[in-house]
Structure 1
Amino acid sequence: MSADEVVLAAMRAMWEAADPCPVDLTERVLFRLSLERLDVEVMAIQTALSGAGARGTEMTNTIIFESQSLALTIAVSEARMRQRRRIDGWISPSAALRVQLHGADGVLEETADEDGRFAFPDVSGGLVHFTVEPTAGAAVRLDHPVATPAIAI
């Protein structure tokens, strides 16, 4: 190994220790690239709140996503003893739209009720994102799907 290669290897080791690459960077980049190929509106995270549940073994995280078309609020409940999650969500303005959850379990789909409420009662933890799909007859008209950025649950 040349002197330059030794110095470069030492610098790489130093930066990997001081500022490691996020473990989910590849998944996030691939998600972002896949959205560029689609006609999709991407929501932004507006608020992320954490709080203890009523029972000592549960924790709830609430995240609000917003776009020009709508807002999506999700509450993620996790049992500390399990790797599964319950996700309750609300669409605003209220509408019976199809919601897809993309994650470790594949693509799960629910339709929100007329008040915009939906739930995914049993989801694997890990990186997920949501897509709200245009739905015929819904109170809110979407011209194209609306997607959230990927989040870890």
Structure 2
Amino acid sequence: MIVDSEEEEDREALAALKRMWERIDAPPADLTERMIAAVAVDDLSREYALLTEVSADRAAVRSEQERLTLQFSDASTSVLLHVSATESGSRRVDGWSEPPILAARLSQEAREWSAALGEEGRFAFADVTPGLSAVRLVVRKDGDLREFITPQFEV
């Protein structure tokens, strides 16, 4: 490969500029660690919202249906989910969100369900296959759209 003299001069000029800026305005020594920590904290608040199992009651009096109530929240969004078994063996997931949602999807590996949206933050997923799931919501908070993702939970 033939390198012409202009390319070589450009490389040398850029290398000289880099050395000058590293001397005059060097990045802080801990910049990499601080950026990794900032990204990790952002991921934690986004991906790992607080999970609280509110109740897991197995109604045995009149039915064999299982019910599970889960609550997820972070600094600006709170979600309550009721998971119940249906007669067909599938699951129904009813949810409520504050603030109200614009869209909701439940995902399990390669499969996804869209929610039927109701009023005041209500949504529901019907005929969900039992398995490890996560719910992804789009909410409007203070005029901005933001995504809220629950940690995975068993349906």
Per the shorter chain, which TM-score range? 0.5 to 0.7
Alignment pair present for 1:97 and 2:99: no
> TM-score, with normalisation over the residues of structure 2?
0.60
Secondary structure in 2 matching 1:50? strand
Which residue of 115, 120, 124 corresponds with 2:120? 115
Structure 1 unaligned spans of 5+: 1-35
Give the match for residue 149 of structure 1: 151
State the Cα deviation string for residues 69-108 of structure 1 (Å, max 9, x = none): 21111000014x6441011100023x14211101157121
Q: Quick one: distance in 2 between partners of 1:132 and 1:121?
A: 16
Alignment pair present for 1:76 and 2:83: yes
* Aligned partners of 1:72 and 1:91 also within 8 Å: yes
Q: Quick one: distance in 2 between partners of 1:140 and 1:114?
A: 19
Query: 1:132–1:141: structure 2 CA closer, same or farther, 3 Å change rule?
Result: farther
Q: Quick one: distance in 2 between partners of 1:140 and 1:87?
A: 27
State the Cα deviation string for residues 122-149 of structure 1 (Å, max 9, x = none): 1000010011124xxx576454311011
Alignment pair present for 1:59 and 2:61: no
* Aligned partners of 1:72 and 1:92 also within 8 Å: yes
Question: Across the two proteins, how many residue pairs are aligned to each other?
Answer: 113
Secondary structure in 2 matching 1:125? coil
> TM-score, with normalisation over the residues of structure 1?
0.61
Q: Which moved more, 1:56-65 or 1:139-148?
A: 139-148
Give the match for residue 124 of structure 1: 129
Q: Which has the higher helix share?
A: 2
- Who wins on radius of gyration, i.e. which is larger? 2
* Aligned partners of 2:101 and 2:137 also within 8 Å: no
Question: Aligned-residue CA RMSD in angstroms?
Answer: 2.9
Query: 1:139–1:67: structure 2 CA closer, same or farther, 3 Å change rule?
Result: closer
Structure 2 unaligned spans of 5+: 1-39
